[in-house]
Chain A
């Protein structure tokens, strides 16, 4: 009987099972010498057979994959055993981690290729792209970097740090590394595959087949997003595994351990406080509006009530009133109402009141500590973990978590918190305030870390899907370097869209956004003319630059809203709603717009060059 690759595989697997069976049988009978001899004999045969098969039938994919998987497992196991032996458990864990990710990637790749094995042109293009990604150097470098970097990261953390900080740092940087490396890989792969095929003319052959240009683009995109999905799955598994591994390490203290489980490895929802009386808050807003009008007669929409003024003015007034409401003067008390807390009772965990007081003057004895009294539903605060009444002095400008019992939530799902600025040793303490964005928040558990991670990775994947289409579109009409540059600029602008928009506002002044559109246009034109005619060329140029920047930002998607990594690292819920919005805005709208633009350009493009 002729020995073929498949028969080799059967013999290899059969001998392994036989060896295990005989060794188990000997061990059962307590014939340890027989078990050892059998183990050694089968082990030697196994190695020899494996190497023989690998050398002779390495061109057969199942043989090659099996042999490589087994050989790499042995090598990784041996090296990590050595590392543990010489007292470097971190190095051993890194080796095992790299091995596991590589094996997982290969397994996923096999599944992906199987998935794309249908006899459809789109699948054909997609599968060829996957092959291209793993066989060409540029994309492969990023994949290898990713598979090596992630397992190293948990072991470069400072062991002196609090455990929760180490975990948060690892989650943050591993997600940033995965996102950045995959983004770069996506750009280079998407742009490179199109531009190189046009330059090297492989596209002439593909387009001479019954493959429409739309199917070609879709196939390329499908290949990239499939590969990204696989890599993100592998990365996500690695992030989760290493996070759990870190979480099992000794914490600095009990509070640190509790924080890990209640503030990091959870998915929490935060609630901002509401005024105790909505009508009272609106009354304060109206009074503020009246005061502004009294001080400035030219203020717009004179005579209108607070509810009738423009949203921009309303936001401005509300912000002022809320800022005052977040400040607590000496011997004063402010009451904050938190509503919508009913879901918190389902999980049964503690509520977490997070505060970050900022002193308006010197703290008592310049200690940097802030004193405050807390009433929960008009009852003095008792820490449910320690049963200690009252709040100890807390450091200013630092986040503090005060646990609350969910039983305090009333039937309407509301909780009233009264914070008092008390006398300290008979003296008034300076007023203190809370930051509007995150100075005073109520957290409760609303999901698990695992699903939070999945949703977070989904958002990263959606961003990569857009980036892939952007790269393909740029590649249809630009050369490789220019297309890569354009993609990276757009991507960075999209990721930092919030920061850039704010920077543009500070860069140069334009007529207020509260004005009607027509007045803003004429006002801007007048402003530019006035600046240039007065000789302030630089000032005029800055206005023009801001206009160009603002126009550019209109063409760039706002990814800042969909940055899930800080939420994940902070143990905040990455909601399904956020994922759906991201899918709609990034996945459907922006990617589809880019696809249409790319298709229209590609459809009319002549693929051959002048040869006469």
Chain B
């Protein structure tokens, strides 16, 4: 509990630091409004209405809301694909329509808007060219990305023949082709199976550890809760609530105690102890495993047993890829996913420990202590509690701990 409180406090400190330091603001919107007009220039609908939005460097920011709340429109405004009716936007301190800032942005749209007649390799080659990448660098990154998203074996098939999930994977690969500093993901898990969903969440966490800023737009709240630092909840084009995920979700009026299995006598004894403090147990139950974890465990087990199925080969490999086990089935012997991600981000990799927005030295040492302690609690990890601490650690600590956490 103490550790959680410390981490939440850290998140608050980091958020305040980012908000107060304008140089570290990657995305900044002030009173952003977008009104769509019809052919006769009559106002038809206000999709975004006076939105104030700040996303700091190295932050995973979640933009939440039901369908039609204005999330995608906000993202398209940030990318310069739509013009704001009023208000101001700055991405990396520049106007979003400036071509130069797009060199630092990766974008995954809500659907995979890919050329159906190109295959996966040609698709990535095309987007690589748009970033002025020379042939050698392009080919290296394409090979790494195809391997990373698990499409290297089907890279010659036209994208039009891909399943929706495979198209999302190639969409993710194209978003990473330039090793972006800001990754904008619009409904990234749409159409993905639980394996792919888990992969994307792990990718986001890994990228955040490498100092990347991620703007995540989704209405799948469970996914967002696991990985974001801060969220803004939109409805009707307006931000209704915004803040650090821990602040928004933690219930301060209730305490949950986790312990090995207790019988009735032990529970009664515990209740008596509480009665002495003038309190009582409200509810006793067994914690439930997450369905996602159960699913991954079953697929992983099937993979280990070598069961064949028409669609499981890819899934099995992906599970291996995610868990870092049985690499022979998917990755070369001397490769692991973090190493691959290191290679993908090595061009502009800046150790997060050198980030200027570090809190005071005291906080840093506490952070490291928390990360080490977290190793003992990895049987029931809660990424939303663990990840906010990682951006502020030294590189070697980061690598070791992340590998441990993943494996």
Give A contacts to B, CB under 8 Å. 59, 117-121, 123-125, 127-128, 131-132, 135-136, 200-212, 606-608, 610-612
In the complex, the answer to whether A209 meets B130 with C-beta atoms within 8 Å is yes
**A576 CA / B289 CA spacing, docked (Å):** 81
In the bound complex, residues from chain B placing their C-beta under 8 Å from that of A203 are 113
In the bound complex, residues from chain B placing their C-beta under 8 Å from that of A127 are 126, 129
In the bound complex, residues from chain B placing their C-beta under 8 Å from that of A211 are 99, 102, 130
In the complex, the answer to whether B132 meets A210 with C-beta atoms within 8 Å is yes
**A204 CA / B81 CA spacing, docked (Å):** 7
Residue of B69, B113, B135 near A119 (CB, 8 A) is: B135
In the bound complex, residues from chain B placing their C-beta under 8 Å from that of A118 are 129
Residue of A59, A119, A606 near B132 (CB, 8 A) is: A119
Of the candidate stretches B12-20, B70-78, B196-204, B308-316, the one touching chain A is B70-78
**A131 CA / B123 CA spacing, docked (Å):** 11
What is the chain A residue whose CB lies nearest that of B155? A59
What is the chain A residue whose CB lies nearest that of B48? A612
In the bound complex, residues from chain B placing their C-beta under 8 Å from that of A119 are 128-129, 132-135, 138
Given contacts A124-B126, A135-B117, contact A208 B107 (CB under 8 A): yes
In the complex, the answer to whether B115 meets A128 with C-beta atoms within 8 Å is yes
Centre residue among A59, A136, A202, A207 by max chain B CB count within 10 A = A207
In the complex, the answer to whether A608 meets B81 with C-beta atoms within 8 Å is yes
The answer to whether the Cβ of B349 comes within 8 Å of any Cβ in the partner chain is no
Chain B 152-202 interface residues, beta-carbon cutoff 8 Å to A: 156, 174, 178
Given contacts A610-B44, A610-B47, A612-B73, contact A207 B81 (CB under 8 A): yes
The answer to whether the Cβ of B45 comes within 8 Å of any Cβ in the partner chain is yes
Given contacts A612-B45, A612-B47, contact A210 B115 (CB under 8 A): no
**A200 CA / B114 CA spacing, docked (Å):** 9
In the complex, the answer to whether B237 meets A200 with C-beta atoms within 8 Å is no
**A204 CA / B110 CA spacing, docked (Å):** 11
The answer to whether the Cβ of B100 comes within 8 Å of any Cβ in the partner chain is yes
Residue of A117, A131, A201 near B113 (CB, 8 A) is: A201
CB A5 to nearest CB in B, in angstroms, measures: 12
Chain B 54-73 interface residues, beta-carbon cutoff 8 Å to A: 68-70, 72-73
Sample 12 A-B pairs with CB under 8 A, ordered by A number: A119-B129, A121-B129, A131-B118, A202-B113, A207-B79, A210-B99, A210-B102, A212-B99, A606-B81, A607-B82, A610-B73, A612-B73
What is the chain A residue whose CB lies nearest that of B109? A204
In the complex, the answer to whether B129 meets A205 with C-beta atoms within 8 Å is no
The answer to whether the Cβ of B382 comes within 8 Å of any Cβ in the partner chain is no
Residue of A124, A131, A608 near B129 (CB, 8 A) is: A124
Chain B 96-131 interface residues, beta-carbon cutoff 8 Å to A: 99-100, 102-103, 105, 107, 109, 111, 113-115, 117-118, 122, 125-131
In the bound complex, residues from chain A placing their C-beta under 8 Å from that of B72 are 611
The answer to whether the Cβ of B83 comes within 8 Å of any Cβ in the partner chain is yes
**A127 CA / B122 CA spacing, docked (Å):** 10
Chain B 223-252 interface residues, beta-carbon cutoff 8 Å to A: 237
Centre residue among A121, A200, A610, A612 by max chain B CB count within 10 A = A612
In the bound complex, residues from chain A placing their C-beta under 8 Å from that of B114 are 202, 205
In the complex, the answer to whether B113 meets A205 with C-beta atoms within 8 Å is yes
In the bound complex, residues from chain B placing their C-beta under 8 Å from that of A608 are 73, 76, 81-82
What is the chain B residue whose CB lies nearest that of A128? B126
In the complex, the answer to whether B117 meets A611 with C-beta atoms within 8 Å is no
**A120 CA / B138 CA spacing, docked (Å):** 12
**A100 CA / B311 CA spacing, docked (Å):** 44
In the complex, the answer to whether B45 meets A610 with C-beta atoms within 8 Å is yes
In the bound complex, residues from chain A placing their C-beta under 8 Å from that of B132 are 119-121, 210
The answer to whether the Cβ of B80 comes within 8 Å of any Cβ in the partner chain is yes
In the bound complex, residues from chain A placing their C-beta under 8 Å from that of B127 are 205, 209
In the bound complex, residues from chain A placing their C-beta under 8 Å from that of B103 are 210
The answer to whether the Cβ of B295 comes within 8 Å of any Cβ in the partner chain is no
What is the chain A residue whose CB lies nearest that of B130? A209
Given contacts A119-B134, A121-B129, A211-B99, contact A610 B36 (CB under 8 A): yes
Centre residue among B44, B68, B70, B130 by max chain A CB count within 10 A = B130
Given contacts A117-B135, A606-B83, contact A124 B117 (CB under 8 A): no
What is the chain B residue whose CB lies nearest that of A136? B117
In the bound complex, residues from chain B placing their C-beta under 8 Å from that of A120 are 129, 132
In the bound complex, residues from chain A placing their C-beta under 8 Å from that of B115 are 128, 131-132, 202
**A606 CA / B73 CA spacing, docked (Å):** 12
**A135 CA / B161 CA spacing, docked (Å):** 14
What is the chain B residue whose CB lies nearest that of A212? B99
In the bound complex, residues from chain B placing their C-beta under 8 Å from that of A125 are 130
CB A608 to nearest CB in B, in angstroms, measures: 4
The 6 A-B residue pairs with the shortest CB-CB distance in the complex, in nearest-first order: A124-B129, A209-B130, A135-B117, A59-B156, A208-B107, A612-B47
CB A85 to nearest CB in B, in angstroms, measures: 40
Given contacts A207-B81, A210-B130, A211-B130, contact A611 B73 (CB under 8 A): yes
